[in-house]
């Protein structure tokens, strides 16, 4: 009898421990932020690091305005404060996310200061480029261009959402205006596909007369390099996840994202039929879906990138 009682007590304790473990595991899963719940292919594409160098305390002064940054916000590792002064008087304070895991055209990740000066339109007067990120996914990047007019700081244009992910300013062709590099999210959530499943792609824009003008198609070599990267990731994804994805009913979300990523880069190169042939060869069951959606995909792409180039793009209207 004594051993029976001990056995019952043991079973009850084991049951309580098992229930507690399950509850803790379930709670942990529920607390995983959205940014970590991306598909495997997107995780590979959007590498990030949590080991950042300490924020550099720095400042920038220009025409009576001073910007000071690199100071912690409420002792949080990645949140910093940007202070804006006019004639030594504080006029604004902005909280920004310090983890600028920004990728350049060579695939290298690095950090930007939140405020920089560039002569974007080559008129001899520098514009103020201010970019911010609040830590969210596919929503929370902002990239703004300011000019000083009549002694005031005036925003002329800017981007938000994933397209607000600033990739720097470079004169890629070593002539004319410098190119502003951004990450384009025109296809996020396309065809009810999950946010993380659809691809983004690099865009290049010029700044003239307070407007942004897309010039992405002027750089076919860079588009081709990004297409090659997409192809490499596609074959890696296919080797690891294809059999699992194809078991799903209909065309799986991540599979649709792979199709769009490949096709739009071929389209940017002026070879959309080659994109269809690639999908037909390597992912035949997705061919009908691509053909039926092709006109809509082309329309979205053209809404952001004008075929003749130099067409003004208002990203706020386009979203």
HEC string of 51-102? CCCCCCCEEEEECCEEEEEEEEECCEEEEEEEEEEECCEEEEEEEEECCCCE
- Our CA dihedral for 162, 167, 171, 176, rounded to 10 degrees, sits at 30
Q: Which residues of 269-302 are buried (b: 16+ CB within 10 A; e: fewer)?
A: eeebeebbebbeeebeebeebbeebeeebeebbe
Sign of the CA dihedral running 293, 285, 231, 107? positive
Separation CA 23–CA 152 (nearest Å)? 56
Domain boundaries, the chain: 48-160, 186-313
Give me 139's structure tokens: 């929503």
Average pLDDT, the chain: 74
Give me 234's structure tokens: 């596609």
Give me 311's structure tokens: 């067409």
CATH class, 48-160 region: mainly beta
Residue-wise pLDDT tens digits, 132-179: 776 666 567 778 899 999 999 999 988 776 555 677 899 999 989 999
Read off the pLDDT of each residue in 126-135 and give the average, rounded to a whole number.
83
| DSSP characters over 233-295 | HHHHHHHHHHHHHHTSSSS-HHHHHHHHHHHHHHHHTT-HHHHHHHHHHH-GGGHHHHHHHHH
pLDDT at 123: 94
Residue-wise pLDDT tens digits, 196-236: 778 888 889 999 989 888 899 999 999 999 999 999 988 98
Do residues 142 and 164 make contact, with C-beta atoms less than 8 angstroms apart? yes
Residue-wise pLDDT tens digits, 39-83: 444 434 444 444 555 666 889 999 999 999 887 776 666 778 889
pLDDT at 312: 45
Give me 207's structure tokens: 């700044």
Separation CA 113–CA 124 (nearest Å)? 22
Alpha helices in the chain (DSSP H): 2-30, 40-45, 220-246, 253-268, 272-282, 287-304, 315-318
pTM score > 0.75 for this model? no
Give me 233's structure tokens: 């990731």
- Our CA dihedral for 52, 56, 61, 62, rounded to 10 degrees, sits at -20
pLDDT at 162: 56
Residue-wise pLDDT tens digits, 79-108: 788 899 999 999 998 887 765 545 444 555
Taking each continuous run of H as one helix and of E as one strand, the counts in the chain are 7, 14
Do residues 259 and 186 make contact, with C-beta atoms less than 8 angstroms apart? no
């Amino acid at each position: 009898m004594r051993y029976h009682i001990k056995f019952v007590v043991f079973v009850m304790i084991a049951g309580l421990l098992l229930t507690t473990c399950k509850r803790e595991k379930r709670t942990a899963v529920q607390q995983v932020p959205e940014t970590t719940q991306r598909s495997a292919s997107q995780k590979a594409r959007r590498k990030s690091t949590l080991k950042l160098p300490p924020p550099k305390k720095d400042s920038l002064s220009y025409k009576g305005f001073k910007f000071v940054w690199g100071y912690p916000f409420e002792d949080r590792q990645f949140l910093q404060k940007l202070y804006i002064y006019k004639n030594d008087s504080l006029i604004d304070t902005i909280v920004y996310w310090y983890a600028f895991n920004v990728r350049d055209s060579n695939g290298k990740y690095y950090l930007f200061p939140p405020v920089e000066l560039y002569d974007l339109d080559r008129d001899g007067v520098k514009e103020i480029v201010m970019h911010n990120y609040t830590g969210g996914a596919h929503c929370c990047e902002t990239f703004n261009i300011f000019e000083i007019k009549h002694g005031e700081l005036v925003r002329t244009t800017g981007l938000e959402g994933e397209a607000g992910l600033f990739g720097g300013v470079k004169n890629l062709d070593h002539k004319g205006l410098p190119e502003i590099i951004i990450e384009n999210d025109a296809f996020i959530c396309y065809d009810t596909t999950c946010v993380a499943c659809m691809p983004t792609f690099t865009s290049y824009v010029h700044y003239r007369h307070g407007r942004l003008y897309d010039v992405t198609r002027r750089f076919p070599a860079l588009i081709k390099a990004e297409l090659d990267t997409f192809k490499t990731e596609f074959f890696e994804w296919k080797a690891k996840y294809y059999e699992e994805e194809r078991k799903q009913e209909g065309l799986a979300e991540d599979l649709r994202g792979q199709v769009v990523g490949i096709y739009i880069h071929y389209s940017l190169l002026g070879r959309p039929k080659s994109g269809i042939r690639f999908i037909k060869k390597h992912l035949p069951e997705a061919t009908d879906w691509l053909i039926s959606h092709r006109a809509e995909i082309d329309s979205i792409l053209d809404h952001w990138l004008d075929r003749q180039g130099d067409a003004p793009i208002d990203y706020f209207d386009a979203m």
